[in-house]
A = this chain, B = another copy of it.
Amino acid sequence: MKNFEFYNPTRIIFGEGTIARLRDQIPQDATVLLCYGGGSIKNNGVYDQVLTTLSSWEMIEFGGIEANPDYDTLMKAILLGREKGVDFILAVGGGSVIDGAKLVAAGIPYTAGEVWDIVTQDVKVILGEALPLGTVLTLPATGTEMNGNSVISRRATEEKLAWVSEAAFPVFSILDPTTTYTLPAKQVRNGIVDAYVHVMEQYATYPVDARIQDRQAEGILLTLQEIGEKALEVPPDYDTRANFMWAATNALNKLICQGVPEDWATHDIGHELTAFYGLDHAETLAVVMPHLLWHQREKKADKLVQYAQRVWGLTGEGEPLIREALDNMIDFFNRIGMPTKLTDYQIDPDQAAARIQARFASRGSRMGEHKAITSDLVAEILRMSR
């Protein structure tokens, strides 16, 4: 096991009816900036629940935070927050709203330079205290509700960058599984795949005898496999949605990555597929990961065999065993309605390979837990996605 440092101070308030707990989590004299997205919370009753709960608080609203939250949008929120003297940020929505609100919470008191510095420079050096941020999660997927990660896009300069800081942990996150009841099936499917691939990125590398972490990772994968199809059913089942929600949080609250190597090449490649073809983030992961794992099967053999045995209960050995496990993964994704090939989207794998190879070659990228996946190998992997 490698040495590690784990710190996660976010308070999780979980279960049906917990939005009312906002009342004891936000100081009564706070001026609150309520951040949300495209307005789905106005249709599913969550917006009304929040406003009713906080009716005696001074509330400033900022709606319209888009998917892949844009720096220019967030700067408007920051300027509004400064103007109104807000001292608490409340994000209500999914991963993009929360990621964006993290920059708002850090950006409002940041006056030492341009707010974009927070995204591009060493936050340990430049960033002091952020405003406190609370969240009400409505879309289980990214894990941002219980970590210090935030991904910000800047469309004006075609950048999309992640920043990570202890100042970006929400002080609390409210997870009420009933807020997911009105999600379209496609977003539930995306969330399941997103969480599943998050776990695999931290698990399917090479063994370092980190047994608790491995079992925790396998437990999340098994849970997602067990509840995946039922999570898509209407009317929704409470416990199924609760397990989905808590699984997605645990997939990226940084417990399972402690002391182990991490991959994340599937994410790196996937981001380019979103950029070139506009696929949803989870869609890109599903068309890359099964092929990447097969391509890397020699380097990842020990963990892929463990995955086959413990997560799919398979027997056998060597490449046929690994192939069977990856076929099971593909079958699982397909069963919940998620395609696993570029050709399912009428995207030519050869064209995608050429474009993305060029992109990575120009950057000299080397990815994965061994930094062994070059742009040439990325092209090989993408050509397999057919």
Contact = CB atoms under 8 A, between A and B. Distances in A.
Interface of A: 1-18, 208-212, 214-216, 218-220, 222-223, 226-227, 239, 242-243, 246-247, 250, 255, 258-259
Contacts of A7: 9-12
A222 B208 CA distance: 17
* Chief secondary structure at chain A's binding surface: mixed
A18 B3 contact: yes
Contact of A259 (B15, B208, B250, B255): B15
A184 to B, nearest CB: 24
29 contacts: A1-B15, A1-B239, A1-B243, A3-B16, A5-B11, A5-B12, A5-B13, A6-B12, A6-B14, A7-B9, A7-B10, A7-B11, A12-B258, A14-B258, A14-B259, A15-B259, A209-B239, A209-B242, A209-B243, A210-B243, A210-B246, A211-B223, A211-B227, A211-B243, A212-B250, A215-B222, A216-B219, A218-B219, A255-B255
Nearest to A146: B6
Contacts of A246: 1, 210, 212, 259
Contacts of A255: 255
A199 to B, nearest CB: 11
A347 B9 CA distance: 46
So how many copies of this chain end up in the complex?
A: 2
Give the one of A210, A227, A246, A259 with max B CB within 10 A: A246
Nearest to A223: B211
Contacts of A215: 215-216, 218-220, 222-223
Contacts of A10: 7
Contacts of A210: 242-243, 246
Contact of A220 (B5, B12, B212): B212
Contacts of A4: 12, 14-15
A221 to B, nearest CB: 9
Nearest to A18: B3
A302 to B, nearest CB: 15
A15 B12 CA distance: 27
